Amino acid sequence: MGGSVGLKGTDGDMYARAVQLGAEPVSPQRTRDFLHHVDCMDRVRLLVGPGPMGEALVGSLDHEVIGELGEAPGRADTRKTARAMLAAGAELIVFAGGDGTARDMIDAIGQQLPVIAIPAGVKIYSSVFAYNPRAAAELLSAFVQGADVSEEEVLDIDEDAFRKGRVDSHHYGFLLVPEVAQLLQDGKESSDTKGSTAAAKQDLASAVVETMESGVLYLLGSGTTLRHVATALGVEKTLLGIDAVIDGQLVARDCNEKDLLALLEQYDSARIIVTPLGGNGFLFGRGNKQFTPAVLNKVGEGNVIVIANREKLLRLERLHVDTGDADVDSRLRGYVKVVVGRGHQKLMPVE
């Protein structure tokens, strides 16, 4: 729940900080979206965690509550509930969260049961996750129909390093998931720092800066490609945050949703510049959740500029969006022109 307020995760004490900043939990609605799209519930015995961990979300669906909660549910309850479901005879566990929740599932059940992971966290870099809640529902249908399962990787992301602008990730383990590759995201690639790639990003950044218009507010997304854009402008970039510039001047750093909406009220014209996340091609919904549906609606899908070096695009068949709002996602889907160099663009499908 820390994405919109710019906390880059809510492990440990950051949960309380997110609440203080007015963040709202994401997992409940994502879980409801998943349940809405499930078309095989008549073939499922539904076990749910108590209270907000599932019971409060299933409505009139026939279900059985497993386990008990303390006063303030935390990751220990995730592990305890998963183990209780295993003991109760579950054949598959569906969970909503991010990489931290995926790690909890490894600790709790390992590869004793397959899982389906609904993306609902801030850090969603592991390949265990479905593209979105609807894809997660389709994975359940595939499992019920007899799909095989395969191992997918869970990454361990250091949140403290992440907040300091460094993605410090390493392999944590594997979870079993239904084997339907087109419904699962690829894991995040490490940023390529080879000289040739860095030079390509610098050239791309220079080309982007040359097209920037006077009097227009530019919201620079996260990542090394956008850091090169900031460098070309002569301003400092928050590597894993959202920064705002106008006429070559930095006007706000590491913005959260509230900051961005305030800026959009102040300036009449605005553009968002983003680059696809390396490995899985997400434009929105992974690593830049400060670009909420409210922000995207205010800017307008026609004012989104996508940039990427050619090498990154060669490894991507399509791009993806998962903002949490079906209408916004629908307007962003289709085809987008990706700026790959001075005077050069590549048309890419967005799903």
Residue found under tokens 């791009």 = 319
Q: Give pLDDT, residue 9.
A: 53
Amino acid at 311: E
Which pLDDT band, with edges at 50, 70 and 90, does 8 fall under?
Answer: low
Q: Give pLDDT, residue 2.
A: 47
The end-to-end CA distance of the chain, in Å, is 24
Q: Give pLDDT, residue 5.
A: 46
Q: Give pLDDT, residue 167.
A: 61
* 128-169 residue pLDDT tens: 999 999 999 999 999 999 999 999 999 887 766 665 666 666
Mean of pLDDT over the chain: 89
Which pLDDT band, with edges at 50, 70 and 90, does 14 fall under?
Answer: low
Beta bridge partner(s), residue 246: 217, 249
Lowest mean pLDDT among 160-174, 189-203, 215-229: 189-203
Beta bridge partner(s), residue 48: 65
Which phi and psi (to 5°) does residue 262 adopt?
-65, -40
- Answer whether residue 291 shows pLDDT above 90: yes
**128, 185 Cβ separation under 8 angstroms:** no
Which pLDDT band, with edges at 50, 70 and 90, does 212 fall under?
Answer: very high
The contacts of residue 31 (CB under 8 Å, 6+ apart) are 54, 57, 96, 118, 120, 133
Which pLDDT band, with edges at 50, 70 and 90, does 315 fall under?
Answer: confident
Which pLDDT band, with edges at 50, 70 and 90, does 121 fall under?
Answer: confident
User: Regarding predicted confidence, which is higher, 189 or 317?
Assistant: 317
Which whole number is the average pLDDT over 59-86? 91
Q: Give pLDDT, residue 350.
A: 97
Which pLDDT band, with edges at 50, 70 and 90, does 16 fall under?
Answer: low
Percent of the chain with pLDDT over 70: 87
Q: Where are the domains of the chain?
A: 14-183, 195-350
Fold adopted by 14-183: Rossmann fold (3.40.50)
* pTM, two decimal places: 0.80
Lowest mean pLDDT among 6-10, 159-163, 168-172: 6-10
The contacts of residue 74 (CB under 8 Å, 6+ apart) are none
CA–CA gap between residue 151 and residue 154 (Å, rounded): 10
* 238-253 residue pLDDT tens: 888 999 999 999 999 9
* 226-239 residue pLDDT tens: 999 999 999 999 88
Which whole number is the average pLDDT over 7-27? 63
Q: Which two tokens stand for residue 349?
A: 């499908």
Residue in 182, 184, 189, 199 with CA at minimum distance from that of residue 310:
199
- Answer whether residue 343 shows pLDDT above 90: no
Which pLDDT band, with edges at 50, 70 and 90, does 23 fall under?
Answer: low
